[in-house]
A and B are shown apart, each in its own frame.
Chain A
Amino acid sequence: MTTLSLPQLRLPRLLGPATWLRALLAWRIAHTVVVAAGLWWALTSEALEGPGRIAAIAAASIILLIDLGGVVGLALRRSFGRSLSLAADYLTFLGAILVLFQRNDVFRGLDALGATFIRGVPFGLIAILAWVVTGWGEQQGTLVQLRRIARYVAWFAVGAMLLAVGLLPGIATFLARTAEPYGLGLVTVALVSGYLAWRTFQSDVAEELEVTNQTTRTLDGLLFASPNLLGFTAFFAGPLIFSLFVSLTEWDAFGDPEFVGLANYAQILALNVGIASGGQSPSEVLAPGYFTWFTVGNVVVGAQDVMFWRSIRNIFVFTLFALPLSTIPALFLATLLNSKAPGIKVFRAIYFVPSIAGVVAVALIWRQLFDSTIGWLNYLISLAVSGLNNIPGLTLTDPRIQWLSDADIALFSLVIVFSWMFIGYNAVLFLAGLQGVDRTLYEAAMIDGANRWQRFRNITLPSLRPTTFFVVASTGILTLQLFGENVVLFPTTTPIGAGPQNSTLTPVVYLYEQGFRRFAFGYASAVAWVLFVLIFLFTLVQFRRQRAQAEG
């Protein structure tokens, strides 16, 4: 297979491949020394602290390892020396640019853009329109003149857009800050390492080291995947590992994390059971440090962190109701939607809308409906009650439900909101599954005289098993992370979103309270990991069940 190359930049190739490799080795050694010095500084200096320090140490260590490998490889004239050297220089190049941007407030400059960018939108629309016209002209094959004009218009509109959003002052500020010694240093580092990476990447250097196609492909692949891989490391894998570490520490907003081992987990999970006999109060029979969670008869169950266990109980009850309510009706709705009757797509669209409206909008809508004095829900209920009371012998009282302020009701109000939001979405998921069911199975069953229910029970349900697993698992993951609905419906309770008498306190609400109101980051991280294990177990059980059913 022909080796594919990356975009061809035409830069001068300063040295021949053999000389270049010797020069690269010298650079690599120098680079290694500088990175090692940087690592030493990060390890000893007081200037860095917290996660920034950890990230700097991790990054410097990784680059140092790559550098050392590169030095060895280049000295032995092996192809892995080139690969590692490329990686180190590419990372240095990116790092220098990112640090320059970060120091010059390019990223935070988005805030200023937030105020001005709306002025650029009309020009942006013109540019898109003109760009569409160039494409349209292309399809026609003629109209060369129109295409050319449209292209000019597009470029002009892009320029106008950049001017309108205030790009010029932004660039001026950026250049002024870059002109300082620190900025110039970073620019130099970026240019040098960028050129080095490019030159080392050229095929003559590769041939000099007899690099295989396999290695070239690997480098290409890693280069294309590098934005994702680096972003994944910086914003997912790194934080994930950091979170695990933080959960083993005690850490408030000020000062450094203090390692405490599994103490956070122990405190979260600790339960204690006692039996109250002969007029003892529940708190007397529990070990010191434990508080009553609930009592059954004279058995007292206590926990060190009652709030956490309350949140677990709440989310369990919530899931118990919300999961069936948002999936089972969805399945029946999907069987209704799975027909060729006219207008079916309109209904499908209507059912889908609540799930795209966003949790805040949906919760605010329902807050209006839930209002106990002027809300529609109580009004419709009282209409129904008075209607039913016309039936002789029936006397119902209007319940006048306090949807959001009754501690026994509030959690079920959330069940209603959640189910309403996701029934339609789940129905469309089920519909996609239904449309994949083999139609000949139904025909065979009808010949055998199977009735509608038998067909549903024996063909539809088994065929839908993978879809059902996906729907139940993804809905369950959502229910276990309930947070937004609480915060919008109960904005004034303490903790925020906990509802009347903590009746809607969920694990994420509790996590938010611990992490961002009390600034107990270590404890909050431990709560997050416990919740993660819970979600993982839930998914695992669903998966096992699906597998068992598929086999059995």
Chain B
Amino acid sequence: MAVVTGSKRRRVLERVGLYAGLGAFGAIMLFPFLVVAFGSLKESSDIFRFPPRLLPYSQDTVEIDGEDQGLYVIDGIERVLLETITVGLYAPPDALEDTVVVPTADTERRGGFLDAETVEIDGEEVPLYDVEVDGEVVAMVERSTTTQGRFAALDDPDDVVGANVRLAEQVDSVDPQPQNFRRVTELQNLDRSLTNPLLVTLLVVGGTVLTSILGGYAFARIEFPGRDAMFLVYIGSIMVPFVILIVPLYQLMVALGWVNSLASLVFPFVFNAYGTFLIRQFFVSIPKDLEEAAVIDGASRWTILWRIFVPLSTPAIATLSTFMFLYAWNSFIWPFIVISAGNFDNHVLTVSLQQLGGRAADSPNLILAGVMIAIAVPVTVFVLAQRYFVENVATSGIK
């Protein structure tokens, strides 16, 4: 009995350890996304706040004389900011440490502007001011000035104190700003940057699936001399890194007049060796007797392909579609090179976001809203087609 309970306890401990490990990693993976998700709903003063807070906050306000005024807590009392004024630090010239804080508006230059009186301190001529202290007017020098807020207590409007606005603690409450998403689309034609990649992605996915089905069928089912060598060369092209094609492909686009056009993002990418490979592998696994009946009936290859092979291959086609979707939606290097920075009409989202990130450093909340849009699309596809994503990863691993 003791052995059994011991192993049971160990299993429970193992489970706890497992979830702790998974959870820790999950937090590392998820936390940046949470920062972005909530950051995209923040107002710009909140996103520049230190220390950072996860949730989007904005300051509570109270309406005074038809204007919204910010709410603060000073020494435990909720107060409203009435106005900000400039205050000066004044001291008599003979006792520079005896400072008083007085609004600059309440002081006057001694002798007026035309005939200002000055006093020499450390070899410098410093103007003198009339400052009222305890009902008495004293001549003082201005040591420094600063802005200060005048705060009235919420429950007693006559209780007014002065304090530094930046150091006063704001009364905040959670207040998401969904209009950030609308505002970001108004920046540099971002609405076209949303529809363009959608069109490009749809065409790339559709085109790749079409050519891959045709090519996959030829390489899987039609035997002819040189086929396998041809297939190997074609598959070998997967191993060639894309960077090697950047310069010559760009030259080809120049020759075709496709630079700056969406055509350059679509047509070079609809002939895909990986897709042909994927579909071919699936077609090879389809038993031959399924098509033999159709052959005897005199069906053409074309009919057999579309009536028998394609309906049986929906998992492979879905896998290929999700893969190509991600590839096209997230592609960055090529659009960055081939679509010029000023051509907003033909931008895709990745390029627009990169530019926005370089330009609008003063509104990270809007950039994060754009990032959310960019992520939302692949994540939605991922949630809908998770099975095929994982399948894709698994097959590429076996390859």
Residue ranges of A at the interface with B (Cβ–Cβ < 8 Å): 1-2, 4-8, 50-52, 55, 102, 107-108, 110-111, 113-115, 117-118, 214, 217-218, 220-225, 227-232, 234-240, 242-243, 246, 329, 333, 336-337, 339, 341, 343-344, 347-354, 356-361, 364-369, 373-376, 379, 420, 423-425, 428-429, 432-433, 467, 470-471, 474, 477, 480-481, 483-484, 487-488, 491-492, 508, 511-512, 515-516, 521, 524-525, 528-529, 531-532, 535, 539
Contacts and interface: CB of A to CB of B under 8 A. Distances in A.
A531 B199 contact: no
A364 B295 contact: no
B143 interface: no
Interface of B: 15, 18-19, 21-22, 25-26, 28-33, 35-36, 39, 47-52, 192, 195-196, 198-199, 203, 210-212, 214-215, 217-219, 222-225, 227, 230, 234, 237, 239-252, 254-258, 261-263, 266-271, 273, 276, 295-296, 298-304, 326, 329-330, 332-333, 336-337, 345-346, 350, 353-355, 357-358, 364, 367-368, 371, 374-375, 378-379, 382-383, 386, 389-390, 393-394, 396-399
A319 B245 CA distance: 22
B262 A111 contact: yes
Contacts of B246: 511-512, 515, 528
Contact of B214 (A224, A376, A487): A224
B29 A228 contact: no
B225 A528 contact: no
**Interface SS majority for chain A:** helix
B379 A107 contact: no
Contacts of A353: 29, 33, 379, 382
B376 to A, nearest CB: 10
22 contacts: A1-B295, A2-B295, A4-B295, A107-B258, A107-B263, A108-B257, A117-B195, A117-B198, A222-B224, A228-B215, A231-B211, A235-B271, A236-B237, A240-B245, A243-B247, A366-B32, A369-B32, A369-B35, A379-B51, A428-B394, A511-B247, A532-B240
Contacts of B273: 228, 232
Nearest to A425: B393
B205 to A, nearest CB: 14
A24 B302 CA distance: 26
Contacts of B214: 224-225, 227-228
Given A521-B247, A525-B247, 10 more contacts: A2-B296, A52-B255, A108-B258, A225-B230, A357-B379, A374-B52, A477-B241, A483-B333, A487-B336, A532-B244
A232 B368 CA distance: 38
Nearest to A359: B332
A467 B397 contact: yes
A228 B271 contact: yes
A491 B268 CA distance: 27
Given A232-B271, A337-B22, A108 B225 contact: no
Contacts of A423: 29
Nearest to A534: B241
A508 B262 CA distance: 23
Contacts of B247: 243, 246, 511, 515, 521, 524-525, 528
Contact of A240 (B240, B262, B299): B240
